[in-house]
Amino acid sequence: MVAHHNAANKGAAHMALKATVFKAKLNVADMDRQVYGDFPLTIARHPSETDERMMLRILAFALHAGEQLEFGRGISTDDEPDLWQKSLSGDIELWIELGTPDPDRIRKACGRSRQVVLYCYGRRAVPVWWDKHGDALQRFDNLSIYSIDGDCCDQLAAMAAPGMSLQCTVDGGEAWLSDGRDNVQVSPQALKT
């Protein structure tokens, strides 16, 4: 009887896990798009989200930084991306996904948004996923797919901290992210543009 009670409590405690809030001050100097500025970010990190994935969300924000860009509920919801940008009329202009999602999710995103950008990561997962789904995804004209190197992901994950102050410089399609101690150079590899 007691064991059953504890198991039920354990399940309830597991279900009650809430997102951890991270704050980041992000300074962006994007030479490619001529976007310069400071972006105070509040990142709600889902309990199942890794440092790597959270930092990739910040990187994706830096690569597409703008006043209208915001974090979606991402990992915790099916109908929102990791990041998105909407027009003043509510139309989705940019939909940004991370990982190796189901192609059906990408198809839906391409139908809902003017532009969809996918940043794939995972040393072993990406080649397998791309071999399996790459051909089918070629038909979407508004879809761009990039792969982020595993070593870069590890270095980004090491920067994760509750109160981050980050500088990102973007030039020639490459990004340099610094937290004052460490610098990470990220060269997203285009799988589809």
Residue 9 within a domain: no
Rg of the chain over all Cα atoms, to the nearest angstrom: 18
How many domains does the chain fold into?
1
Q: How many CB atoms lie within 10 A of CB 130?
A: 17
Give the residue numbers spanning the domain of 145: 19-192
What mean pLDDT do residues 47-60 have?
94
pLDDT of residue 91 exceeding 80, the answer is yes
What mean pLDDT do residues 100-114 have?
96
Q: Provide the pLDDT for residue 7.
A: 44
pLDDT of residue 177 exceeding 50, the answer is yes
Residue 13 within a domain: no
pLDDT of residue 12 exceeding 90, the answer is no
What mean pLDDT do residues 155-176 have?
96
Residue 187 within a domain: yes
Residue 12 within a domain: no
E strand or H helix at 130: helix 125-137
What mean pLDDT do residues 169-181 have?
96
Residue 44 within a domain: yes
Residue 75: pLDDT band (50, 70, 90) is: low
CATH number, domain of 60, equals 3.10.640.10
Q: Which two tokens stand for residue 147?
A: 């792969």
E strand or H helix at 156: helix 150-158
pLDDT of residue 64 exceeding 50, the answer is yes
Q: How many CA atoms lie within 13 A of 19 on its CB side?
A: 15
Task: Report the chain's mean pLDDT, rounded to a whole number.
Answer: 90
Q: Provide the pLDDT for residue 16.
A: 53
Strands 35-45 and 20-30: antiparallel
Residue 74: pLDDT band (50, 70, 90) is: low
Q: Output the pTM of the full model.
A: 0.89
Residue 20: pLDDT band (50, 70, 90) is: confident
Residue 5 within a domain: no
Residue 177 within a domain: yes
Residue 173 within a domain: yes
